C-alpha cells in the first residue's frame, strides 16, 4: 500500500471548526463545559493551543489589508504533520509511537505509552501534548482505527459512479467545504500543486506566495497543505528540522547494549583466566619494616630497598613470582 | 589472631549500600521503561509506576549521597585528595599492566599502590562523572515533564536525554567492571566484597596485596589496625 496523506486547502477552509469537533467526537475527547471556562482571547481560535484533550485546532490569524476595511484572515490547521523523518518516533522510549507501514502516518499505541513526554521535546511542530489524568501522550493518530478498518463504498460525483475508498479520518470525513481530503500521498501532492497553480493564475497575483507545504519538509509530511498566504502566516516553520541529537539517541540503546555485552564478555575471559589463582599470605613487621610470606618465611619486601619482590611474592602461581 | 586494617567507615559503607540498592532499582526500572521490548512485556500501568518509581528512587539516591557528603566534609576532602593525588611510578606501572593483568593474572604482577589505586582513580572518576551526569540530567528531565512541567526548552530536554543515555552507557561499562572486581568475582580480588559490605575491615595480607604502600603506612601508624581472634570470630 502506498503512502497516504491528509490534504488541506487553506484557501477553501471556512474556519467552521467541523474538523476540530469531529476529531473530539470520534476520539471521545471532552471539552470544558463550564461557563466562561475558556478565557476570552479576542480570537476565533479556541482553544489557543493543543492540549491533552485536543488533537486538532483550527487556527485563525488576522492581518491588515492596508485598506480602511476588512482583514486578511488566514485560517489553518494545527495538528500532527505525520513526518516521514519523525523525531517523536525516534525518541519514543516505549515504542508507543510508530510509523504505520501501510500508510506512513505516525500513530500511537496508547497501551504502550508511559508518558515520558520525550516526543513533545523532539517534535519540530510542538504537537504532542501530555494528558495528565491518563498519563499518556495525546496526538493525532490519523484515525488509524477508521482507515485501517477496510473500505467503504462512496459515490464519485465527478465520474457519477460508486467506488470503494479507504475510510477517511474523522476530520476529513466531516469537512463541508471540501478543504480536507484524504488519499494516496502522490495524488494529494499533485492535487495541491494544481490548486496552487490555480490560485496563482486565477485568483491571486502570480507573485503571491501560495505554496505547497509538506511535500519535501522532513523527508515528506503526510499532511499536504495548500498555503494561500506565506508560511509564517500559519505559524508553521519554514524549514522544519529534527534536532540532530534526536538521531544520536537512536544509537544510544544499541551502542550501550553492545558495550555492556562486550564488557561482560571481556570480564568473562578475565574470570576464566583467574580461576585457580593463588596468593601468598603476607605479613608486615612494623618493627623491622619488612614484609614476609608466612607460608615460606621468605622476606619479600624491605624498606631499605634491598628486597622488593613483593609484587611477585604476592602471587603464588606456577608461572608467577615464585 | 589476624591483623585487620579499617578501610571503610560505617557511613561510607551505608552510603555505598544505599547507592547500590538505588542504582540496581534505577537500572531495572530504567530498562523496563526505556527499552520497548521490556516495556511491552508489562501493562502500561506497571511501567508507569516504574517510571514514577525511577524518579523517586533517583531523588533518594541524590539525597543520600548529598546528605552523606554534607555530614562528612573531611571524608569528602580525603576522598578527593586521594583521587587527585599526583601519579608516581607505581601508579603508571599499574595502569600499563592493568589489561594484561586482567587477562593473565597468573603471569602479570602489579606494583604496590597507595590508598586509592591509579586504576581505581580512573574507573571511579568515570563513575563519579557519569553519576553527576545522570543525576543532573535526570533532575532536569523530571522537572521538564509532568507533574512539574517547567518551561524547559525542547532542545535542552533532548540534550539532557542524550546526556542521560551517555551517562548510562558509561555506568553500564564501568559499573559492570566495578561489580566484577568489587564483588570479588575476579579470583585475585576475592574477599573484597566483605570490605565494603561487611565490617569495613581488610585483612593485612589482602591490604598488602592490593594497596601495599597504604597498608604499610597504616600498619606503621597502627591507628586503624585491629587484631581479631579468628577462632572467636
CA-nearest of B112, B132, B113 to B121 is B113
Which span out of A75-79, A142-146, A306-310 was modeled with the highest average pLDDT? A75-79
- Whether B70 and B103 have beta carbons less than 8 Å apart is answered as no
Q: What number is the average pLDDT over the span B153-166? A: 93
3-state secondary structure of A16: coil
A264 in a structural domain: no
Between B122 and A205, name the one with better pLDDT: B122
Are A206 and A284 contained in the same domain?
no
Sign of the Cα torsion B161, B163, B167, B172 reads: positive
> Is the backbone of residue A5 left (phi > 0), alpha (psi -120 to 50) or beta?
beta
Residue B199: burial class (beta carbons within 10 Å; 0-12, 13-18, 19+): middle
Question: What is the domain count for chain A?
Answer: 2
Strands A223-227 and A4-9: what pairing?
parallel
Contacts of A280 in chain B (CB under 8 A): 205, 209
Q: What number is the average pLDDT over the span A185-190? A: 96
Among the three residues A242, A267, A292, which one is the final residue of a domain in this structure?
A242
Among the three residues A223, A242, A261, which one is the final residue of a domain in this structure?
A242
d(CA A226, CA A221): 13
A251 in a structural domain: no
Q: Which residue has the cell 460508486?
A: A162
Residue A90: closest CA among chain B residues belongs to which residue?
Answer: B158
d(CA B183, CA B176): 10
Measure B11 CA to nearest chain A CA, in Å: 28
Are A128 and A201 contained in the same domain?
yes
B130 in a structural domain: yes
Tens digits of residue pLDDT in B96-130: 999 999 999 989 989 999 999 999 999 999 999 99
Tens digits of residue pLDDT in A108-157: 998 888 888 889 999 999 999 998 888 889 999 999 988 887 665 566 66
The DSSP 8-state label assigned to residue B201 in this structure reads E
Are A53 and A186 contained in the same domain?
yes
DSSP letters for A218-260? GG-BSEEEEESS-GGGGT--SS----HHHHHHHHHHHHHHHHH
Pairs across A and B, CB distance < 8 A:
191
User: What residues make up the domain containing B51?
Assistant: 2-104+113-228
pLDDT of residue B172: 96
Residue A93: closest CA among chain B residues belongs to which residue?
Answer: B34
3-state secondary structure of A273: helix
Query: In the structure, what pLDDT confidence band is assigned to residue A302 with cuts at 50, 70 and 90?
Result: confident
d(CA B34, CA B39): 7
3-state secondary structure of A217: helix
Are A302 and A190 contained in the same domain?
no
B204 in a structural domain: yes
Contact assignment for B169 to A252 by CB distance below 8 Å:
yes
d(CA A220, CA A186): 11
Contact assignment for B220 to A263 by CB distance below 8 Å:
no
Are A297 and A221 contained in the same domain?
no
Q: How far is CA B84 from CA B16, B74, B119, B122, in A?
A: 21, 15, 13, 10
d(CA B166, CA A116): 18
3-state secondary structure of A100: coil
d(CA B70, CA A238): 51
3-state secondary structure of B197: helix
Are A289 and A202 contained in the same domain?
no
pLDDT of residue A320: 42
Q: Residue B46 has which C-alpha cell?
A: 506497571
pLDDT at position A99 over 50: yes
Measure B70 CA to nearest chain A CA, in Å: 32
Question: What is the rounded average pLDDT for all residues in chain A?
Answer: 88
Query: In the structure, what pLDDT confidence band is assigned to residue A94 with cuts at 50, 70 and 90?
Result: confident
d(CA B109, CA A196): 78
Are A32 and A151 contained in the same domain?
yes
Tens digits of residue pLDDT in B187-223: 999 889 999 999 999 999 999 999 999 999 999 999 9
Are A159 and A296 contained in the same domain?
no
Question: What is the rounded average pLDDT for all residues in chain B?
Answer: 93
Tens digits of residue pLDDT in B31-57: 988 788 888 888 877 888 898 999 999
B36 in a structural domain: yes
- Cis ω before A47 (30° cut-off from 0): yes
Q: Residue B89 has which C-alpha cell?
A: 611510578
Measure A320 CA to nearest chain B CA, in Å: 5
- Whether A45 and A57 have beta carbons less than 8 Å apart is answered as yes
To probe the interface with A, which of B38, B155, B157, B227 has the most A CB atoms within 10 Å? B157
What is the domain-level CATH number for residue B53? Answer: 1.20.950.20
3-state secondary structure of A70: coil
- Kindly report the length of chain B: 233
pLDDT at position A321 over 80: no
A131 in a structural domain: yes
3-state secondary structure of A60: strand
A50 in a structural domain: yes
Query: In the structure, what pLDDT confidence band is assigned to residue B153 with cuts at 50, 70 and 90?
Result: very high
B202 in a structural domain: yes
- Whether B150 and B143 have beta carbons less than 8 Å apart is answered as yes
Query: In the structure, what pLDDT confidence band is assigned to residue A247 with cuts at 50, 70 and 90?
Result: confident
Q: Residue A247 has which C-alpha cell?
A: 538521531
pLDDT of residue A163: 66
Query: How many secondary structure helices (H) and strands (E) does chain A include?
Result: 8, 15
CA-nearest of B45, B49, B213 to B117 is B213
pLDDT at position A319 over 50: no
Sign of the Cα torsion A180, A185, A187, A189 reads: positive
Contacts of B190 (CB under 8 A, 6+ apart): B184
CA-nearest of A170, A198, A199, A194 to A182 is A170
Are A317 and A182 contained in the same domain?
no
Q: Residue B189 has which C-alpha cell?
A: 580480588
Query: Which of A130, A245, A312 has its CB closest to that of B109?
Result: A312
pLDDT at position A207 over 60: no
- Of chain B, the percentage scoring pLDDT greater than 90 comes to 83
User: What residues make up the domain containing A295?
Assistant: 276-322
pLDDT of residue A300: 86
Amino acid at each position: 500500500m502506498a503512502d497516504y496523506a491528509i490534504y488541506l486547502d487553506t484557501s477553501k477552509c471556512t474556519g467552521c471548526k467541523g474538523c476540530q469537533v469531529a476529531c473530539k467526537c470520534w476520539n471521545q475527547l471532552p471539552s470544558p463545559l463550564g461557563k466562561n471556562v475558556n478565557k476570552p482571547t479576542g480570537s476565533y481560535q479556541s482553544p489557543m493551543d493543543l492540549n491533552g484533550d485536543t488533537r486538532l485546532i483550527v487556527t485563525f490569524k488576522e492581518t491588515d489589508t492596508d485598506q480602511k476595511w476588512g482583514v486578511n484572515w488566514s485560517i489553518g490547521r494545527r495538528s500532527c504533520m505525520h513526518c516521514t523523518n519523525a523525531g517523536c518516533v525516534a525518541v519514543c522510549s516505549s515504542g508507543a509511537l510508530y510509523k504505520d507501514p501501510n500508510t506512513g502516518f505516525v500513530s500511537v499505541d496508547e497501551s504502550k505509552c508511559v508518558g515520558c513526554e520525550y516526543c513533545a521535546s523532539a517534535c519540530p511542530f510542538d504537537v504532542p501534548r501530555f494528558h495528565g489524568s491518563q498519563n499518556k501522550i495525546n496526538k493525532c493518530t490519523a484515525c488509524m482505527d477508521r482507515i485501517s478498518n477496510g473500505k467503504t463504498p462512496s459515490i464519485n460525483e465527478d465520474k457519477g459512479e460508486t467506488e470503494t475508498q479507504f475510510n477517511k479520518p474523522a476530520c476529513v470525513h466531516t469537512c463541508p467545504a471540501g478543504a480536507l481530503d484524504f488519499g494516496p500521498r502522490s495524488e494529494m501532492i499533485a492535487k495541491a500543486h494544481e490548486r496552487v497553480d490555480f490560485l496563482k493564475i486565477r485568483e491571486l497575483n502570480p507573485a503571491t506566495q501560495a505554496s505547497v507545504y509538506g511535500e519535501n519538509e522532513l523527508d515528506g509530511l503526510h499532511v499536504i497543505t495548500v498555503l494561500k498566504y506565506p508560511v509564517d502566516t500559519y505559524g508553521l516553520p519554514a524549514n522544519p528540522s529534527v534536532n540532530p541529537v534526536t538521531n544520536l539517541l537512536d544509537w544510544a540503546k544499541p551502542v550501550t547494549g553492545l558495550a555492556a555485552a562486550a564488557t561482560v564478555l571481556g570480564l568473562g575471559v578475565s574470570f576464566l583466566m583467574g580461576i585457580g589463582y593463588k596468593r601468598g599470605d603476607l605479613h608486615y613487621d612494623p618493627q623491622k619494616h619488612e614484609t614476609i610470606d608466612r607460608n615460606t618465611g621468605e622476606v619479600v619486601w624491605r624498606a631499605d630497598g634491598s628486597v622488593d619482590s613483593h609484587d611477585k611474592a604476592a602471587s603464588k602461581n606456577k608461572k608467577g613470582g615464585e | 589472631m589476624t591483623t585487620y586494617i579499617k578501610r571503610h567507615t560505617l557511613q561510607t559503607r551505608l552510603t555505598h549500600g544505599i547507592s547500590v540498592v538505588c542504582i540496581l532499582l534505577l537500572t531495572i526500572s530504567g530498562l523496563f521503561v526505556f527499552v520497548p521490548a521490556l516495556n511491552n512485556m508489562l501493562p502500561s500501568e506497571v511501567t508507569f509506576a516504574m517510571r514514577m518509581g525511577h524518579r523517586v528512587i533517583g531523588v533518594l539516591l541524590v539525597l543520600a549521597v548529598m546528605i552523606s557528603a554534607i555530614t562528612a566534609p573531611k571524608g569528602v576532602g580525603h576522598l578527593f585528595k586521594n583521587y587527585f593525588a599526583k601519579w608516581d611510578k607505581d601508579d603508571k606501572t599499574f595502569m600499563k599492566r592493568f589489561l594484561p593483568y586482567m587477562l593473565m593474572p597468573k603471569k602479570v604482577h602489579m606494583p604496590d599502590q597507595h590508598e586509592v589505586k591509579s586504576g581505581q582513580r580512573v574507573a571511579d572518576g568515570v563513575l563519579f562523572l557519569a553519576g553527576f551526569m545522570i543525576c543532573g540530567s535526570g533532575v532536569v528531565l523530571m522537572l521538564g515533564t509532568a507533574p512539574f512541567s517547567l518551561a524547559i526548552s525542547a532542545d535542552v530536554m533532548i540534550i539532557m536525554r542524550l546526556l542521560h543515555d551517555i551517562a548510562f552507557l558509561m555506568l553500564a561499562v564501568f559499573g559492570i567492571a566495578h561489580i566484577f572486581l568489587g564483588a570479588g568475582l575476579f579470583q585475585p580480588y576475592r574477599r573484597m566484597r566483605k570490605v565494603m559490605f561487611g565490617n569495613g575491615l581488610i585483612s593485612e595480607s589482602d591490604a598488602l596485596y592490593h594497596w601495599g604502600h597504604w597498608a604499610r603506612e597504616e600498619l606503621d601508624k597502627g591507628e586503624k589496625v585491629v587484631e581479631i581472634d579468628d577462632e572467636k570470630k
